[in-house]
Every structure is written in structure tokens, then in C-alpha cells.
């Protein structure tokens, strides 16, 4: 069947109206490609059937007498109301079963294993090795190699969430008490967005994440850098050391930075937060200003989220800790 580049044509035609970062109509992965193919087939067929039915209705009202008499007959009712739908739906059923079976085929072993746990309202991401041991933990961001199968284990220990990256695959829920597994197979490098797709409370609307698909060597480089603990700030850098001091006092109870004494697990792991693509589960760009803004006023940005506002820190402390976090690349 055609690969995802086939859909570039209709996608380009439609993309005047919106961006393609979080769109099911711009498939960049195998599963999303199959879903998109199904969508186009059904859209074309559905549009044709709709126009046909409306035409018949119009003819039933406005058409010539002979045609109207034919439309009023039992034969028409049986053909249009039973025979035609049975034929079309039988075909559709078999077609859809074939697509579903193709999507579930998981022949090759996974190149990468990731466990994603839904929190309120952010994503806890753990990369695992082949035995299921944790390599490292990060948050709100997933990077995967292109053209290789990636297995995800989706879980939640609070409410029901749903993991959805429309460019790559359909969604799968994260249900407390269950571990749902899905396979991603990206076919195009790039940066995409995902969003929680099951209403999970106050800030469900602001539970997004970044997913970056990298070429193989780039992915390996990133993986290795993530496994390393945070580099300590140099002796010459007073502000960074002050920042680290503030961090250990104010933030370590909830956050972890490997390589320091901070080992809190309530909030996202911040070991390499400086290198992330966004902050606040996809809400803000990542720079010193937004870091400071989030720390001081997260309750204004994402009211009700689990982090209190640290507006009691002085301006100097805030700048220091923000610079420190920016340095955690």
C-alpha cells in the first residue's frame, strides 16, 4: 500500500488552514499512515454515498413523474436500503479487519522500550533496556529513532489519560490497573506534538508533550547524553552554584537531578531539563525567562497543577536557579 508520502498531496492541499505538528492527516508513521489511508477511502466513499442519497432525495421531490414512481416502489427500497448497504458494509468490514490486522503485526523486536506514565498533568517518561530495567527518567518529551519500531508501555497511577501522537499513530488510554502497550514506527524525522486525549481533570487541556524523531546516530547520541548524570557547575560560575544551592533547598523534595542530592519523584525529573523542547508539559518554550516565570508563577500559567508558586524567592534567587536549570543540558 502507498507509503505516507502519498498523502503529501492531499495534506498539502489542506494544510493551508492549519499546521501539521499534531495532525492525523499528516501521517509520518506506519500506524498513522494506515489510519490515514482508511480515512481517505472512507471519506471519498462516504462523500459519494452522501451526494447520491441527497440526489435521490432531491429527485424524489423534484424529479419527473416516472422516476418518482420508481423511487416509490418496493424494489428501490430493498435495493437502496438493504442490498447496497449490505454490499458496501461487508466490503468495509473486511477491509477494516485487514487494516487492523496489519497494524497489530509486530514482527521485528523493538529497538527502544519506553514506559510512559500519565500524571496530573504531565508525562513521566522512562527509557528501559531490553530486560525492563530503567536506563533513565525524563518528562514531557520523547525522542525516538526513525524507521525503527519503538514499544511503549502506557500506565497511570491516578486517573485515566490517553497517549496520542496523531502524526505517528492512533491513541491508547492509560488506565490505572492496566498496562497498555503500543508500537510506534516513525517513517520521517521531525518534531511532532502529542496531547492527552482523555479528560483527566482541571488541566487536561494543557497536558501536551513533544516527540522528536531522530536519525539513528543522533538518537544514540541523545540517549547516551540522557543517561549521564548532570554535570556539576564549574568553580568559576558563581551564579550557577548559587542556583544549584537554591534548587537543592527549594526543589529537591519534589524533583530529581541525577548527580546531585535532589531525588524527589513527585514532580518531573529535571536532570536534563535545559535541553528539552518545551516546559510545563508543552505549554511554554524553554528559556531562562520561561523557566523563571514558571517557577514563580506556575499557578497563574496552569492553575491547579501540582507545583505551588515559588513567588517567595527573591529576584536574584529566581534568576540563579533558572540559569542553573538552563545549564542542565
Whole-angstrom distance, CA of residue 141 vs CA of residue 119:
14
Strand positions, DSSP E, the chain: 112-118, 123-128, 134-139, 141-145, 149-156, 161-163, 172-174, 180-185, 190-195, 208-214
Instruction: Find the binder of another protein among 111, 128, 153, 159 (CB under 8 A).
Output: 159
Whole-angstrom distance, CA of residue 92 vs CA of residue 303:
46
Question: For residue 110, what are the CA distances in angstroms to 7, 52, 127, 172, 217?
Answer: 26, 46, 13, 18, 17
Q: For residue 191, state whether it binds another protein (rule: CB under 8 A).
A: no
**Which residues, 78 to 137, sit near another protein by CB under 8 A?**
78, 80-82, 85-86, 89-90, 92-94, 96-101, 103-104
**Which residues, 160 to 189, sit near another protein by CB under 8 A?**
160, 162, 164, 166, 169-173, 175-178, 180-182
Instruction: Find the binder of another protein among 141, 198, 210, 326 (CB under 8 A).
Output: 198
Q: Judged by CB under 8 A, which stretch of 136-144, 154-162, 249-257, 269-277 contacts another protein?
A: 154-162
**Which residues, 238 to 297, sit near another protein by CB under 8 A?**
283
Instruction: Find the binder of another protein among 44, 108, 199, 232 (CB under 8 A).
Output: 199
H or E stretch including 65?
A: helix 65-71
**Which residues, 295 to 324, sit near another protein by CB under 8 A?**
303-304
By CB under 8 A, the count of residues binding another protein is: 91
The least distance separating another protein from the CB of residue 59, rounded to whole angstroms, comes to 8
Instruction: Find the binder of another protein among 111, 147, 151, 158 (CB under 8 A).
Output: 158
Q: For residue 24, state whether it binds another protein (rule: CB under 8 A).
A: yes
Q: For residue 22, state whether it binds another protein (rule: CB under 8 A).
A: yes
176 vs 232 by CB, closer to another protein: 176
Whole-angstrom distance, CA of residue 306 vs CA of residue 303:
9
**Which residues, 220 to 239, sit near another protein by CB under 8 A?**
none
CB 230 within 8 A of CB 260: yes
- Widest pairwise Cα distance in the chain: 95
Q: For residue 74, state whether it binds another protein (rule: CB under 8 A).
A: yes
Of 158, 124, 134, 170, give the one whose Cα is nearest residue 264. Answer: 124
Amino acid at each position: 500500500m502507498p507509503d505516507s508520502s502519498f498523502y503529501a498531496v492531499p495534506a498539502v492541499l489542506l494544510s493551508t488552514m492549519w499546521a501539521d505538528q499534531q495532525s492525523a492527516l499528516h501521517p509520518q508513521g506506519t500506524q498513522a499512515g494506515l489510519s490515514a489511508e482508511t480515512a481517505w477511502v472512507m471519506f471519498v466513499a462516504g462523500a459519494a454515498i452522501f451526494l447520491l442519497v441527497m440526489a435521490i432525495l432531491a429527485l424524489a421531490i423534484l424529479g419527473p413523474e416516472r422516476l418518482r414512481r420508481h423511487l416509490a416502489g418496493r424494489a428501490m427500497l430493498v435495493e437502496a436500503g438493504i442490498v447496497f448497504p449490505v454490499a458496501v458494509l461487508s466490503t468495509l468490514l473486511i477491509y477494516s479487519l485487514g487494516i487492523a490486522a496489519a497494524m497489530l503485526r509486530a514482527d521485528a523486536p523493538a529497538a527502544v522500550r519506553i514506559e510512559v506514565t500519565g500524571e496530573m498533568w504531565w508525562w513521566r517518561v522512562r527509557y528501559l533496556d531490553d530486560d525492563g530495567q530503567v536506563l533513565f527518567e525524563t518528562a514531557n518529551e520523547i525522542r525516538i529513532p526513525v524507521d525503527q519500531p519503538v514499544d511503549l508501555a502506557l500506565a497511570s497511577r491516578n486517573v485515566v489519560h490517553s497517549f496520542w501522537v496523531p502524526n505517528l499513530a492512533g491513541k491508547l488510554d492509560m488506565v490505572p490497573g492496566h498496562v497498555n502497550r503500543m508500537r510506534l514506527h516513525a517513517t520521517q524525522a521531525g518534531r511532532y506534538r502529542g496531547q492527552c486525549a482523555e479528560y483527566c481533570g482541571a488541566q487536561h487541556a494543557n497536558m501536551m508533550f513533544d516527540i522528536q524523531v531522530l536519525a539513528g546516530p543522533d538518537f544514540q547520541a541523545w540517549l547516551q547524553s540522557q543517561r549521564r548524570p548532570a554535570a556539576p557547575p564549574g568553580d568559576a560560575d558563581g551564579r550557577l552554584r548559587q542556583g544549584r544551592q537554591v534548587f537543592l533547598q527549594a526543589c529537591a523534595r519534589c524533583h530529581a537531578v541525577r548527580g546531585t542530592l535532589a531525588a524527589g519523584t513527585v514532580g518531573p525529573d529535571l536532570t536534563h531539563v535545559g535541553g528539552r523542547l518545551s516546559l510545563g508539559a508543552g505549554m511554554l518554550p524553554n528559556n531562562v525567562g520561561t523557566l523563571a516565570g514558571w517557577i514563580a508563577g506556575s499557578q497563574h500559567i496552569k492553575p491547579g497543577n501540582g507545583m505551588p508558586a515559588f513567588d517567595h524567592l527573591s529576584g536574584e534567587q529566581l534568576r540563579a536557579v533558572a540559569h542553573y536549570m538552563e545549564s542542565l543540558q
